[in-house]
Structure 1
Amino acid sequence: MAKKRVFISFDYDHDETLKTFLVGQSKNEDSPFELTDWSIKEPIDGDWKAKARTRIKSVDVVAVICGQHTDTATGVNAELTIAQEEKVPYFLLAGYADKTCVKPKAAKSTDKLYKWTWENLKTLIGGGR
């Protein structure tokens, strides 16, 4: 079975370590997904959103890692809006088990914030929500 291509959206200012953890999980032998570094390493201006849109349209699912400040992360909100506009499936993953995690402002009220476990991650990437 082909592995799912995943775009990771996360708060660069506060949660870069969480992205590193998810990249590590993608390398597990039984991982159903692969990550390419889709990150746009430039300021949020100019054609940043156009580049993000192109990258988001080329994946199977968007994983939004939520931390304590995700509601104020401009890039996360823009990426989630793009995923919604392009009808790319996405899910919200609570980045911390011991801290309060918040949804991005662009999240729908019906979007659930899922606990980050290996089993949940595999299910979510496989489309179970």
Structure 2
Amino acid sequence: MAEPRAFISFDVDHNRDHKLLFAGQAWHSKTPFSHEDWSAKAPMLQSEWEALVRAKINMTHFMIVLVGRHMATATGVDKEIAMAKALNVPIFGVYVDGATSISTLPSGLARNRVITWTWDGIATAVTQMTSEGKNKS
């Protein structure tokens, strides 16, 4: 497989800065994945947003969910996880913003699929994702 592509899901209301930091560091780390900034740039109808996000998720090999302290209110993240599951796109999460193993998780993300933010840990999770879901050989 060429370098796998990730969709990064995050709480746009609370973790935009964490997403920018994560994405920026990912470009300069030795993690084996690429990503695009596919955030919506302008407000749009819910149905348009859902169609756009579903198409973008479908073009990726896995999803990384940035799990912050306010996930209980991140309904967009819940929808993105549901879309990834429907498309058989594997998912893992990374704690950001002081979130820990006792923080609320978004719907559909299992606690054992969320890791601490270390690039070695993320590289290991990426390798695992490349053999799951739609990536299975």
State the TM-score, normalized to the length of structure 2: 0.81
2:135 aligns to what?
A: none
Distance (whole Å) between structure 2 residues aligned to residue 113 and residue 30 of structure 1: 20
Give yes or no for contact 2:67–2:99 (8 Å, CA) kept in 1.
Answer: no
Shift in Å at residue 117 of structure 1?
A: 0.6
1:105 aligns with 2:120: no
Query: 3-state DSSP class of the match of 2:47?
Result: coil
Shift in Å at residue 106 of structure 1?
A: 3.1
Structure 2's unaligned 5+ residue stretches are 133-137
State the TM-score, normalized to the length of structure 1: 0.86
Shift in Å at residue 94 of structure 1?
A: 0.8
Q: How does 1:1-129 map to 2 (within 5 A)?
A: 2-28=2-28, 30-41=30-41, 42-43=43-44, 45-96=46-97, 98-100=98-100, 101-108=103-110, 111-127=112-128
* Higher helix proportion (structure 1 or 2): 2
Q: Which runs of 4+ in 1 moved over 6 A?
A: none
Q: 1:122 to 1:74 in 2, by over 3 A?
A: same
Q: 1:67 to 1:3 in 2, by over 3 A?
A: same
Distance (whole Å) between structure 2 residues aligned to residue 92 and residue 19 of structure 1: 12
The one-letter amino acid paired with 2:64 is A
Distance (whole Å) between structure 2 residues aligned to residue 43 and residue 65 of structure 1: 23
Distance (whole Å) between structure 1 residues aligned to residue 121 and residue 44 of structure 2: 33
Distance (whole Å) between structure 2 residues aligned to residue 44 and residue 68 of structure 1: 27
In angstroms, what is the RMSD of aligned CA positions?
2.1
Shift in Å at residue 95 of structure 1?
A: 1.0
Query: 3-state DSSP class of the match of 1:46?
Result: helix
Q: Deviations over 1:92-115 (max 9, x none)?
A: 11113x44443102334x643211
Q: 1:87 to 1:33 in 2, by over 3 A?
A: same
The one-letter amino acid paired with 1:102 is T
Distance (whole Å) between structure 1 residues aligned to residue 90 and residue 69 of structure 2: 23
Distance (whole Å) between structure 1 residues aligned to residue 86 and residue 115 of structure 2: 22
